Amino acid sequence: MAATCDQHLFVIFGATGDLTRRKLIPSLYRIVTENHVADRMAIIAVAPREMTDGEFREVAKTSLHDAGIDGADAADWCDRIFYQSVGRDESFDGLRERIEAVEADLGFPGNRAFYLALPPVAFPGTIDRLGEARLNRSPGWTRLVIEKPFGHDLASAHELNEQVHEHFDEDQIYRIDHYLGKETVQNLLTFRFANPIFETSWNRDRLEAVEITVAEDLGVGSRAGYYESAGVLRDMVQNHLTQLMTLVAMEAPPGFNATSIRNEKVQVLESITRIDPEHVVYGQYTAGEVAGEPVVGYHDEDGVAPDSRTPTFVGVKVAIDSWRWQGVPFYLRTGKRLPRRTSQIAVTFKPAPVCIFHGEHDECPIKPNVVVLTLQPDEGFQLRFEVKTPGSPPNVTTKHFTFDYNAEFETIPLAYQTLLFDVITGDQTLFVRGDEVEESWRLWQPILDLEDHPVHPYAAGTWGPAVTNPELAFWTDEWTMRT
């Protein structure tokens, strides 16, 4: 593994922000220590604030400490971090000189990763300044990592793509969706393409429905400023849930590499001609109780307009018009202030064609087989199947085969650790390609454009709004989830 990690500089824009402190610094430390490549990386932290290298190294030590990392090795590693203050509109010429000086000092060949841990408004200016200072090219490789959200809608995503492509080639660009870094999300491909037992049934002949659920128990917290203009569709669906859907629905790629996998994911998106607005249900949480604690409604959160119509829940029925999926509904749903945090994909098989068992009132007692893949927490999967209850008269009951990640494996790497490692080793498989991000916006844009789509209230701590339309009754029942 060490052989694939070249000597390089990792340059973080937005170095004094929350993401750098909470995720980037601890993940980079874990990567270099676990792979024994500490001497192959140095970091240049960039932000407007005036600070010395020494002062920033103290910030880095605190961030490692907060992540449970202490000791002499951690302190030594911080000495490989340099700090460069760059004003908001200042050119990057000074930064380039610093980069070249650090490289010359360390004898590094000029490989550079630039990470934009910045608010989206700062993306265009930073990208332009990188290009103007000729930091888009280097003696070695140059990679650009862009945090989400990539655009606010289809037009802005397209514009941002055009602008990045003025300076960088697509194979230099790493667009982050942190869901793709989750081990259990990557396992979707292993589960499907390493287990023909499931893959041969993974189609319209055998499957009844696919339900993708990302439930959060938290509310909007201190992020109302951003969330009010985003809403649930931009915040969770256009990116994370759409990515999950493409991984569940894609065809087998010819190989396990970035081009093949991303081609297949784009094909899924292209096969969705239209999302029917009638099949979209929005909700917004009102006051209620989560985990036994009273919580306020969305309207009473700090920074939320009293008459806000921003949805915090959405349930959608999506049709994929492909030979594999025609007629199999994909139900996506996600919301804040639901009863508990869980992300699951439930794949329900078609029922037995003829029922030869009879329940007490002559009904068919057989339940459909379901595979439930739990992405977080309690990572693992479960297969529900029917068994005969011992004794007579013969009866049928549902049991589970389960696989528990945490019981089987010692550690599950964190999403950012996986993604950053892929950046420094040059693997784009888990990053969203330019055409893919636009296809995804294309899908949701007509729904974002709906002006008066109803937003139904739901009490915090419930599974979303009650809905009467029978087409949408799929989440009025208890969702198909692992209990």
Residues near ligand BG6 (CB under 6 A):
216, 235
- Please identify, using beta-carbon distances, which residue of 370 and 414 lies nearer to ligand BG6: 414
| Beta carbon nearer to ligand BG6, 37 or 220 | 220
* Amino acid (one-letter) located at 184: T
How many Cα atoms occupy the beta-carbon half-sphere of 24 within 13 Å?
29
Contact (CB, 8 A) for 373 and 184: yes
Taking the least distance from each CB to ligand BG6, the nearer of 216 and 438 is 216
* Residue 326 phi, psi (nearest 5): -50, 125
Tell me how far, at minimum, the Cβ of 270 lies from ligand BG6, in Å. Answer: 24
Quick check: is 240 catalytic?
Answer: yes
Verify cis geometry, omega within 30 degrees of 0, for the bond prior to 149.
Answer: yes
Question: Closest CB to ligand BG6 among 320 and 338?
Answer: 338
Question: Which residue's CB is nearer to ligand BG6, number 51 or number 443?
Answer: 443
Q: H helices of 276-360, where?
A: none
In Å, how far from its chain's centre is CA 208?
A: 26
Q: Closer CB to ligand BG6, residue 103 or residue 235?
A: 235
Check 240, 299, 400, 453 and give the catalytic one.
240
In angstroms, rounded to a whole number, what is the distance separating the alpha carbons of residues 131 and 127?
6
Q: How far is 28 from 413, CA to CA, in rounded Å? A: 12
Other CB atoms within 10 Å distance of the CB of residue 351: 13
**Residue 84 amino acid letter:** Q
Phi and psi angles of residue 151, each rounded to the nearest 5 degrees, phi first: 85, 165
CA distance 447 to 442: 10
Closest separation in Å from C-beta 391 to ligand BG6 = 44
Report the nearest approach of ligand BG6 to the CB of residue 72 (Å): 32
Shortest spacing between CB 337 and ligand BG6, in angstroms:
11
**Least distance CB 139 / ligand BG6 (angstroms):** 35
Own/partner long-range contacts of 260-269 (Cβ < 8 Å, ≥24 apart): 261/189, 261/429, 262/428, 262/429, 262/433, 262/436, 265/436, 266/433, 266/435, 266/436, 266/439, 267/322, 268/320, 268/322, 269/242, 269/436, 269/439, 269/440, 269/442, 269/443
Cβ 235 to ligand BG6 shortest distance, Å: 5
State the residue number with the nearest CB to ligand BG6: 235
Residues labelled as active-site residues: 240
